[in-house]
Amino acid sequence: MKINLTVLSFVLILIAVYLFLYQILPLYKSTLSLAKEVSFKKSQKEKIIQFKTAIENLNQDPIFQELLSNKEKFNSYLPPEPVVEGVISDLLSHYENLRLSQFPGFSYRIKDADFSLPVSLATKPKIVEFNIKDNMSYQILVSLLKLMESNIRLLSIQGLKVNKDERKQILNVDFYFNAYYLE
Amino acid sequence: MAFAARLIPWKYLGLWFGIIIAEIALIFILSFYRNGLQNQIYNLESEISTETENLHTLIKENESLKLLGQYLTIREILNRRKEVSVLIERFAAKMPKTMQLDSLDIDVNKKTMKIAGKFASWQDYVRGAAYFRKDDEFKLVDQDSPVLKNNVVQFTWQINFK
């Protein structure tokens, strides 16, 4: 009887050790890691809420209020849409100022800008690439480029090909320029 | 077994039963607590996803951030822009009087220009090439073979500009 009780107590010890090593310990470890995850998620949520509050209060910041007061100006430099007709209108007025012959028209394509910005969550810069072919004198070409480069809508000349027409003493001009907008 | 019997006397049987019952109770408590934590994580994840979505909407709709993006883009464009009219004028000012330009091909992104033209004599050609070879702003980096045609030296150069 005593031996049987000793065997039983030995079996009970084994069960106790088994329960501790294979049930309680892994459960405890996984509970600890879950508790850590909960605290991480709580702090993550807290940060998002803080960030939201900061963004909501941004409009009251004097620097941003100044930016907001210049909104129209920024939209003229860099509109929120391609507004190709705005570029045509600007070019027509430059042609008129330079007393150039009829505006020959252009081809254009829209592409992504080759640069990104830290505040790109809200906006994405895009490019409208224009190509114009026309004939003009050297002086008129330089004046036209100057007018384009001082245009209110940001335009930047990307490529220029000029060939001299010996017979007509005029330049055959083929140039590419970019206008920008924010998507 | 005899060793174990000496070490663990049967009179502690009740104690071992107690320990096992306590362990089982602990397993239940831990499992219950863990399930609670898992539910909490599930709820937090769904709250975080909702808050993140709200944050994205807020960022997209916030006028100040839109303007900040616009301002930074404008600054970036102005920093990258090369004024071609100024470039042409500066190059024209540096051109020797004996050089006649027939074609000009400017690539602003690569900062290169390919020019083709004429010189009245080989001496003028050599002087002109030597000048642009040493120039920092418009540096002659490559050239096609110059040819004498109709008593003028015709050339094609590739120039890198700053």
CATH number at residue A178: 3.30.70.60
At A165 the pLDDT is: 81
In a domain, B90, yes or no: yes
Residue ranges making up the domain that contains A50:
2-56
Q: A66 lies in a domain?
A: no
Residues A91 and A156 in one domain: yes
Q: What is the mean pLDDT of residues B44-73?
A: 87
Start-to-end CA distance of chain B, whole Å, equals 92
Query: Given an 8 Å threshold on Cβ–Cβ distance, is A119 in contact with B33?
Result: no
Mean pLDDT for B88-111 is: 92
Indicate whether A28 and A109 sit together in one domain. Answer: no
Nearest CA in chain A to B32: A31
The pLDDT value given to residue A119? 58
For residue B112, list its beta bridge partners: B107, B160
Report pLDDT for A114: 82
Domain shared by B144 and B91, yes or no: yes
pLDDT under 50: residue ranges of chain A: none
Same domain, A98 and A175: yes
Reported confidence tier of residue B44, pLDDT bands at 50, 70, 90:
very high
Nearest C-alpha of chain B: how many angstroms from A176? Answer: 10
Q: CATH code at B92?
A: 3.30.1360.100
Residues B12 and B52 in one domain: yes
In angstroms, the separation between the Cα of residue B126 and the nearest Cα of chain A is 23
Average pLDDT of B55-81? 86
Same domain, A82 and A47: no
B149 and B89 share a domain? yes
Q: Are A29 and A118 in the same domain?
A: no
- Numbers of helices and strands, H then E, in chain B: 5, 5
Residues of chain B with C-beta less than 8 angstroms from the C-beta of A13: 8, 16
Query: How large is the ipTM?
Result: 0.74
**Are B96 and B156 part of one and the same domain?**
yes
pLDDT grade, residue B7 (50/70/90)? low
Give the pLDDT confidence score for residue A180 in this predicted structure. Answer: 93
In a domain, A64, yes or no: no
Same structural domain, B57 and B106: no
* Residue A170 φ/ψ region, left for φ over 0, alpha for ψ in the -120 to 50 degree band, beta for the rest: beta
In a domain, A68, yes or no: no
The alpha-carbon gap from A71 to the nearest alpha carbon of chain B, in Å, equals: 7
- A-facing residues of B in 76-135 (CB < 8 A) are 76-78, 80-85, 88-89, 101-109
Determine the average pLDDT of the residues in B74-102: 91
Tell me what the mean pLDDT of segment B36-42 comes to. Answer: 91
Whether A42 and A94 map to the same domain: the answer is: no
Domain that holds residue B115: 84-161
CB pair distance less than 8 Å for B47 and A31 = no
**Cβ-based contacts of A20 with chain B (< 8 Å):** 23
Average pLDDT, chain B: 88
Which of B67, B79, B82 to mutate to test binding with chain A, by most A CBs within 10 Å of its CB?
A: B67
Global pTM?
0.72
Q: Which of B61, B76, B99 corresponds to the end of one domain? A: B61
Give the distance from CA B131 to its chain's centroid: 38
Q: Does the pLDDT of residue B158 top 60, yes or no?
A: yes
> Is position A114 within any domain?
yes
Residue B76 lies in a domain: no
Interface probe, candidates A139, A160, A180, chain B, greatest B C-beta count within 10 A: A160
Residue B49, classed as helix, strand or coil, is helix
Number of domains composing chain A: 2
Residue A102 lies inside a defined structural domain of this protein: yes
Is A62 a domain residue?
A: no
Tell me: do A85 and A143 sit in the same domain: yes
Residue A119: list chain B partners with CB under 8 A.
Answer: 65, 68-69, 72
A 10 A CB-CB count for B66 gives 21
Domain count, chain B: 2
pLDDT at A38: 92
- Single out the residue in B30, B61, B92 at which a domain terminates: B61
CB contact under 8 A, B104 and A160: yes
Q: How far apart are CA A88 and CA A103, in angstroms?
A: 9
- B contacts of A74 (beta carbons < 8 Å): 67, 70-71, 74
- Asked whether residue A174 is domain-assigned, the answer is yes
Over its C-alpha atoms, chain A yields an Rg (Å, rounded) of 35
* Of A176, A174, A126, A177, the residue nearest A156 (C-alpha): A177
On whether residue B33 sits in a domain, the answer given is: yes
- Give, in order, the Cα–Cα distances in Å from A112 to each of A180, A182, B46: 10, 10, 34
Whether A94 and A158 map to the same domain: the answer is yes
Q: Distance (Å) from the C-alpha of residue B109 to the closest C-alpha of chain A? A: 7
Q: How far apart are CA A177 and CA B88, in angstroms?
A: 16
B-chain residues near A149 (CB < 8 A): 81, 83-85
Residues A100 and A137 in one domain: yes
**Beta carbons of B24 and A10 less than 8 Å apart:** no
pLDDT at B2: 58
